[in-house]
């Protein structure tokens, strides 16, 4: 069942005001929003409507008083079968294009661009041909920046499209023969205003080149507005189908429909496909349990919101969840206002200042870059280190680093290091270098007393101590001797001479 929320009654009705606030908070919390718009969002841009006394139909009627055409007939592909209806169509489009050129984007267009800047817009789909979404900053399917010139099937880079123009773009013209498209220039409008169509320059150039070669001339096509009429295939139909399939697979969490009566068959099918996907992502009752405010805000996720002055038909029961009655501009401004109150961190802007002029003369500063907090909160697991307690505290001298100062050179490799950087000087050179240069050669070790350990003086304490103190390996440097340990037990063996033994034996 569709719930109706009246914008005019929100000032006096507390439940309606609370529900509208929860809808605004749900928009701020959702991250994959699909926006579908119609002609109603451009009514406040200065573009005259079709059916009023001073509308475009009345202006066309003044030029063609005998022609009876309904509003749908002016946008039906069958009008090209008759020359009179074709002339009426060209005149009508010329006046409509002049009205669009002086129009400016509405708050609704800027709201869609805000959703895209905050990384909450999954895609925008529009029935409008005025191109005001691209003027607001959304790249459309008719933009030349996303055209592909390769041999593939795709004519545009679908990943770069932010706004899908379901009915084409009035700012471009297309050849009826070779399908070449060009920007709609003032000379094209003058020709359309007279009820005729200009020739295609590419077809004319090819035909002229063949005639110059004495060949048969080719057919030259006519230029028509690059809009899609009823019962007419879209030139980018395959690419638009690819974009829609990709968006359905990404599971959007909210669908916003604004300024359309939902009467076109193909458009209704697209809306129902998105609504079915959005309802599948709606949270269950157990998931949305919690505090009353949190429950109300989260319960609007996975909902379909319809903003229009007229109510939807009965066929949309169970598909559209909330119908906001009123102008789309008022509702968009209310959502932005409630969003800023509920989540002010989403609107913080970081500015980068760059000094201009000489530092000695204290030059001025200008904003080089502005970064809006598009994520709303810090990422999980990240901590910001606060090195200074005060924001405007002066920077200490130790933290100043001048990138204009010359940096020290990197040390050379050991193989390319000069002699002056060697850790040996001229006096103290390495032994291998001295031997190569022919310096003094170290004498070999001389052991004068090879039988020192086996002589009679082996057991003499004084001679053993002197031998330890005077032992030299032939190196001209002092060797620090370690302090010897004291023996725990001393054993002395005395050997008598042979003469003494003989005397003892004779006795």
Q: How distant is the alpha carbon of residue 359 from its chain centre?
A: 35
- The H or E element containing residue 369 is strand 365-372
Q: Is 92 helix (H, G, I), strand (E, B) or coil?
A: helix
Which active-site residues does the annotation give?
A: 167
Task: Tell me what pLDDT residue 473 has.
Answer: 47
- The H or E element containing residue 371 is strand 365-372
pLDDT (tens, 9 = 90+) of the chain, 507 residues, equals 889 999 998 888 899 999 999 999 999 999 999 999 998 999 889 886 665 555 666 767 777 777 777 767 788 898 898 888 899 899 889 988 998 999 999 999 999 999 999 999 999 999 999 999 999 999 999 998 888 876 555 688 889 999 999 999 999 999 999 999 999 999 999 999 998 999 999 999 999 999 999 999 999 999 999 999 988 999 999 999 999 999 999 999 999 999 998 988 899 999 999 999 999 988 776 555 554 444 444 566 789 999 999 999 899 999 999 999 999 999 999 999 999 999 998 888 777 776 665 555 555 666 655 666 555 444 444 454 454 444 444 545 444 444 444 555 666 665 555 555 555 555 555 666 666 655 555 555 554 544 444 444 445 455 555 545 544 444 444 444 444 455 455 555 555 555 555 555 555
Task: Tell me what pLDDT residue 256 has.
Answer: 97
User: Could you tell me the strand order of the sheet in which 181-183 lies?
Assistant: 181-183, 168-175, 223-227
**How far apart are alpha carbons 295 and 283 in whole angstroms?**
11
Task: Tell me what pLDDT residue 134 has.
Answer: 94
**In this structure, what token pair is assigned to residue 410?**
């990197």
Provide the greatest CA pair distance for the chain: 175
Task: Tell me what pLDDT residue 297 has.
Answer: 47
The residues, any chain, with a CB within 8 Å of residue 170's CB and separated by 6 or more, are: 93, 96, 97, 100, 129, 130, 131, 184, 225, 226, 227
Task: Tell me what pLDDT residue 155 has.
Answer: 82
Task: Tell me what pLDDT residue 10 has.
Answer: 86
Cβ-contact 307, 326 below 8 angstroms: yes
**How far apart are alpha carbons 501 and 122 in whole angstroms?**
120
**How far apart are alpha carbons 169 and 23 in whole angstroms?**
32
Four-CA torsion 325, 327, 328, 331, nearest 10 degrees = -70
């Amino acid at each position: 069942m569709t719930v109706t929320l009246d914008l005019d009654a929100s000032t006096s009705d507390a439940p309606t005001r609370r529900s509208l606030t929860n809808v605004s908070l749900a928009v701020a919390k959702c991250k994959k929003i699909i926006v579908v718009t119609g002609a109603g969002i451009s009514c406040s841009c200065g573009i005259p409507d079709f059916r009023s006394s001073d509308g475009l139909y009345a202006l066309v009627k003044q030029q063609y008083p005998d022609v009876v055409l309904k509003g749908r007939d002016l946008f039906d592909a069958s009008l090209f079968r008759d020359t009179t209806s074709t002339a009426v169509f060209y005149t009508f489009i010329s006046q409509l294009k002049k009205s669009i050129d002086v129009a400016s984007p509405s708050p609704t267009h800027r709201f869609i661009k805000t959703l895209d800047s905050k990384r909450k817009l999954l895609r925008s789909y529009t029935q409008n041909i005025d191109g005001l979404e691209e003027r607001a900053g959304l790249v459309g399917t008719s933009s030349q920046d996303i055209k592909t010139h390769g041999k593939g099937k795709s004519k545009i880079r679908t990943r770069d499209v932010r706004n899908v123009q379901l009915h084409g773009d009035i700012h471009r013209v297309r050849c009826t023969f070779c399908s070449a498209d060009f920007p709609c220039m003032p000379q094209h409008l003058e020709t359309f205003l007279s009820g005729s169509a200009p020739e295609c320059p590419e077809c004319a150039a090819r035909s002229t080149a063949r005639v110059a070669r004495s060949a048969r001339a080719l057919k030259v096509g006519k230029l028509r507005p690059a809009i899609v009429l009823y019962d007419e295939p879209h030139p980018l139909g395959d690419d638009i189908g690819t974009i829609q399939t990709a968006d359905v697979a990404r599971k959007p969490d909210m669908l916003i429909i604004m300024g359309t009566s939902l009467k076109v068959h193909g458009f209704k099918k697209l809306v129902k496909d998105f609504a079915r996907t959005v309802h599948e992502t709606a949270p269950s009752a157990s998931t949305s349990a919690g505090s009353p405010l949190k429950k109300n805000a989260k319960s609007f996720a996975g909902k379909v919101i319809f903003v229009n002055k007229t109510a939807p038909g009965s066929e949309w029961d169970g598909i559209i969840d909330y119908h906001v009655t009123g102008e789309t501009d008022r509702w968009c401004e209310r959502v932005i206002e409630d969003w800023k109150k509920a989540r002010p961190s989403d609107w913080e802007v970081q500015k980068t200042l760059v000094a201009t002029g000489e530092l000695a003369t204290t030059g001025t500063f200008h904003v080089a870059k502005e970064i809006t907090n598009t994520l709303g909160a810090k990422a999980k697991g990240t901590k910001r280190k606060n090195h200074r307690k005060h924001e405007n505290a002066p920077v200490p001298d130790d933290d100043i680093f001048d990138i204009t100062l010359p940096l020290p050179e990197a040390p050379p490799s050991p193989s390319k290091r000069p002699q002056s950087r060697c850790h040996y000087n001229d006096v103290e050179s390495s032994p291998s270098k001295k031997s190569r240069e022919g310096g003094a050669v170290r004498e070999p070790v001389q052991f004068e007393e090879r039988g020192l350990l086996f002589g009679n003086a082996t057991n003499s304490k004084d001679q053993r101590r002197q031998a330890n103190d005077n032992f030299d390996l032939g190196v001209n440097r002092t060797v620090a001797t370690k302090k010897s340990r004291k023996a725990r037990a001393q054993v002395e063996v005395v050997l008598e001479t042979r003469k003494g033994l003989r005397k003892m034996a004779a006795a």
